[in-house]
Structure 1
Amino acid sequence: MSFAHPEVLILLLAIPLWLWWWWRREATQRTITFSRAGLLAKGPRPRIAWVRWLPWLRALALAALIVAVAQPRSGARAERVSSDGIDIALTVDISSSMLAEDFQPQNRMEVAKDKVKRFVMGRKSDRVGLVAFSGEALTQVPLTTDYPVVLAAIDNLQVGQLEDGTAIGTAIATAANRLRNSPGRSRVMVLLTDGENNRGAIDPRTAAQAAGTFGIRIYTIGVGTDGMAAVPVGRGLFGLRYENRPVKIDEALLTEIANSTGGRYFRAKDAAALQSIYEQIDRLERSAVEARAYIRYTERFRWPLLIGLAALVFELVLRARRGILP
């Protein structure tokens, strides 16, 4: 139980003083002078036992109303609690090569979206952001704990939203810019790509070093099978036209990026491997952060208010029925 306005409760100290004043006044007014004693027989005759209740009823009414004004409430309060949580920037490649169909029955893009969504749904107090990149990079969702918004943004990721290509350095710089001022003690970037850096003015190694100075760990994931994969190369009469081409992932670059920031490089050759990688990252990144929990209060002022009003009504009824003498 707590009070919204506890300072009002100091008025309760005035009630004993009021009772003391009331009894002193009664003691000085017990003798009433009349010219004829017969007048007393015609006047109202109070019952002394009822009269004694009056100051206590008034005191009860005042005390209950003061408590009601102080606004008692129960059931909750806003407090800081310690929980596991990290700041995560999910950085996803949406270049045209992500439509390669080597993760049958789905392509790389659909499998990546599914596994990223599962990763987000496992969050509790982590702040999660989403950056999409191809030939350029764009923040889709800033860091937030509003997971439905993040999931909806992942669903909306489509190849062709940005200029084609693979600008890994630009992607790292964009995600790092979101993480560098985040309040979390642990800052993580998960970068998923299926190609080699071929676009953008920012060198990936330079971007990774800059991210490392902000305490950001980068986990890189190379997506794609070994050997050949059916990759879209244009549009024909019946939709996308595919050709079998060798899978080219710059694993040396992705490994260097991860190692320079204290992270790790993973290779996902199928959907199960990609799922396992996100689970490993989840286990690797656990750190205590402070979060604020909010719970709604239950207001309790109605009961003291009703008690105070009932006491006042009872006092008035006693005075009206018996015609109390002053």
Structure 2
Amino acid sequence: MQRKINPLLLVFSLLGAGVAFLIGELLLSRWLGDMPSILLVGIYFAIVALVVGVGCLLAEMISPTLNGYSWKQRYLSLSWKLLPLTVVLLFGVGAVTEFVYELNFGGVKPVKDVVMVIDDSGSMMQSDPNNSRYSAAQSLVMQMDEDNQAAVLTFSDDTQVVQPLISLSKPSNRDKVSAAIGNLQTTEGGTNISGALNEALNVINGDGQTARGAMVIMLSDGASQFDTTRELQSYVDRGIAVNTIGLGMQDPAGSALLQDIANATGGQYYDVTDAGRLGSVFQQIYDRLGDRTLLTDRSDATKDSPYYAVVRILALLLIGAALGLGLGIVFDNRHLAKSFGIGGAVSGLFAGLILEFGLSSHSFLNGLIRLIALLVLAAILSLFTGIVPVGEGRLYRGSRRNTEVPATAKDSFPVPRRNRGSKGF
């Protein structure tokens, strides 16, 4: 049993983490939101296991520092056959931990109802002369999931419920909402934000499905008298976020009000100067409602939740431990399984902390954070054999060795017993 490090294994495991990152980013960019998150995360970590495992195998095959030359001579072919077990193990652990991460703790309700509140006051003729806000709302309705419900309100001096909450599970309902939005026109009048938000809450409460979470998207270009502390209390109590969009804001008071509304309810404020960008902004708000994943930031009501922070960190700890244990299985070495398993748990803990406190709403930075987490995961795991000693010790035995001890000379030639009754010679 020795504490030793294979520098080549460290290099190859880091290279494997880099390759896994590139493949994983392609996977996330293509399938995030289109593939079930449980399946997606499972595949992601299975890829990590495959590429890092191949790197470690190649390193030990070239320089068998940790597992010894006897492994290379007698068990290398077996190790390649065992590699798929590690891939399956990481897929399973990744999928299970993602399943747990998506559960709703602490009374959190998944957001399924989206209420769009659109400013139709006279000033919109200058802010949005081409009525791009209607096209943006139509596009969002057509992109929403089947388990969503949508509602549309417009407001100026008064608020009009264009479409109450309706399920989008049927294509005919989507067409109905889209047609109602397509018939809207800018009206004369002022900007009554207070009345609009009160009516939006009535629409949400009127649905009667309190188990479903709701979100409001409010677009405006003006300001009005509004007491955020008093008038938003019901939104805060229900956990309903109001995401606000300021379009071509000329009055700083209007921008400040929309920011205050978003901040008070846990939403986000978007300042838009070009009405042509409204489509992407609407989609961005909706995308931030997506399923929680271990690999992306939380943008819903659980963003600052300590429950999900702990669950993510523990999930990565388990994934790291499973990766280390899987590598021990590949090398068919119980001592390596112990060393890599403990090192994987430690590296997974650090990777979880990096993801939890590093991920944000910036997609480029998120990719960089994921890369750092994978590199840390591979590096600490590879170096842990310098802390926990390793030696040769097979996990699998093809046959038991003959453990019989050969007869000794004493057994072969017994000494005559002395006559206890005689004295002298």
Give the TM-score normalised by the residue count of structure 2: 0.38
Which one has the largest radius of gyration?
Answer: 1
* TM value normalised by structure 1: 0.49
More helix by share: 2
Question: Which one has a larger percent strand, Structure 1 or Structure 2?
Answer: 1
